Amino acid sequence: MTLILTLDTSTVVEAALVADGVILAAGRVDDARAHAEELAPLVQRVLGEAGHALSDLTGIVVGVGPGPFTGLRVGVATGTTLAEVLGIPVTGACSLDAVAAAWAARGAPEDFVVVSDARRKEVYWARYDAFGRRGDGPHVTAPADVPALPLAGPGAHLVGEPSGPTTLDAAWLAVTPLPDAGLEPLYLRRPDAEVSTARKSALPRARVSLSRTR
């Protein structure tokens, strides 16, 4: 039996336990600013509800976004650390792919877009076919630049009227096989604070004395 723990912190805090493609337990904390405080207790709660321990896990799948820097960092770091301690594999998946997979399983339209809130009056989005296969994206743009297609995802309302699921269910990171996105978080835009590349001298500036010529 495969027993996969899934984690996603691209929006709120989510965790789920999936055994051979069947969801055993899932939970979420609707707080977009408490990922570090809430993720570990949520993992323990999900495992407890399913009657399993961390030592029972055979793998971990973590959503790598797109999303904000702080949230994604917590989820990816937690997933990779647990995997290293337990000696099990960890893979990353695009978080938007999980929404697409959930809609495809229920009968999605031939062409649709999954959207999440990128803040700063922007959205993250990617385009999918009826099988949940991503054909374009993910991107970060203004809502007006999102293709005029059926909408799903937690940021769909920022673009128009949603037609599909509007929550990101972390369990769908493992219910169906998703493309391996690696473990590098998908920030999609540069952080506000960047390391300066300008060289600064460590020597004190010499004082220049100008004498008036008589």
**Inter-CA distances, 49 with 24, 125, 182, Å:** 8, 33, 29
- pLDDT of residue 203 exceeding 50: no
Across the range 99-106, mean pLDDT stands at 98
Across the range 55-75, mean pLDDT stands at 95
Locus of tokens 């690696």: 182
Mean pLDDT (the chain) is 90
- pLDDT of residue 214 exceeding 60: no
Q: What is the pLDDT of residues 162-181, one digit of tens each?
A: 999 999 999 999 999 999 99
Q: What is the pLDDT of residues 23-48, one digit of tens each?
A: 999 999 987 677 788 999 999 999 99
- Beta bridge mates, 15: 7, 27
Across the range 40-68, mean pLDDT stands at 97
Please give the full DSSP string across 70-120, using - where no structure is assigned. Answer: HHHHHHHHHHHHHHHHHT--EEEE-HHHHHHHHHHHH---SEEEEEEEEET
Q: Which of 5-9, 90-94, 146-150, 199-203 has the lowest mean pLDDT?
A: 199-203
In the chain, the domains with their CATH numbers are 3-95+169-175 (3.30.420.40), 108-158 (no CATH)
- Centre a 10 Å sphere on the Cβ of residue 109 and count the other Cβ atoms it contains: 15
Q: Token digits for 134?
A: 């991503």
